[in-house]
Chains A and B, each alone.
Chain A
């Protein structure tokens, strides 16, 4: 089944404790991105990747890192999480920039 998977789905952590949210797609898509979703603000892009080893900042990249060492995986890293990073996070992938984006199920992160 074609899908985007994210893990974990839920995470409660404390300020400053490094964490990684994994994202994997099995559709051989070139383009992948990370969004955060906050009430009243819609979806805001954190980082995106046009291809392996190519990543770029979105609208809200501060406090986040990503890597794209393989085509299928695009992990999101929070080196020192803070409470303002409490949010719902989505990973998405698509064949190209102007193709349908397929979203993962989301990761709800709470930073205390």
Chain B
């Protein structure tokens, strides 16, 4: 079945700098890759997703890239702000279910 690995587990960046979180997956048949943001005390919330027929998708300061050959996808956040501090999860669609990465705690330093 599908397996998703996410790195790093913790990422600390200076406010205004960029942050990159990477995930790899194992099932070459996976075709849907969402990213969720979880703020303290809340449930995860979708921030961006990408399907296998595109290589990159952008939404303001957030972008996701997908490399199907290498089976990895990445989340890019530019011009980071204090409100970007949260835990970020990647996921890949396996057999009738989403398989989740272990999460990355993003810390924005003032």
Q: Tell me the smallest distance from the CB of A16 to a CB of chain B, in Å.
A: 29
Say yes or no for B89: interface residue by CB 8 A criterion.
yes
Residues in B with CB closer than 8 Å to A22 are: none
Say yes or no for A32: interface residue by CB 8 A criterion.
no
Docked pose: A101 CA to B46 CA in angstroms: 7
Say yes or no for A43: interface residue by CB 8 A criterion.
yes
Docked pose: A33 CA to B36 CA in angstroms: 16
Say yes or no for B61: interface residue by CB 8 A criterion.
no
Known: A42-B89, A92-B43, A106-B43. A101 touches B96 (CB 8 A): no
Pair A42/B102 contact, Cβ less than 8 Å: yes
Say yes or no for A48: interface residue by CB 8 A criterion.
yes
Residues in A with CB closer than 8 Å to B45 are: 103
Pair B96/A42 contact, Cβ less than 8 Å: no
Which B57-110 residues sit within 8 Å CB-CB of chain A? 89, 93, 96-98, 100-103
Question: Which residue from A50, A56, A58, A90 sits with its C-beta under 8 Å from B43?
Answer: A90
Q: Tell me the smallest distance from the CB of A55 to a CB of chain B, in Å.
A: 12
Pair B97/A45 contact, Cβ less than 8 Å: yes
Question: Which residue from B9, B93, B101, B103 sits with its C-beta under 8 Å from A97?
Answer: B93
Chain A residues with CB under 8 Å of chain B are 4, 33, 40-45, 48, 50, 56, 58-59, 90, 92, 97-98, 100-101, 103-106
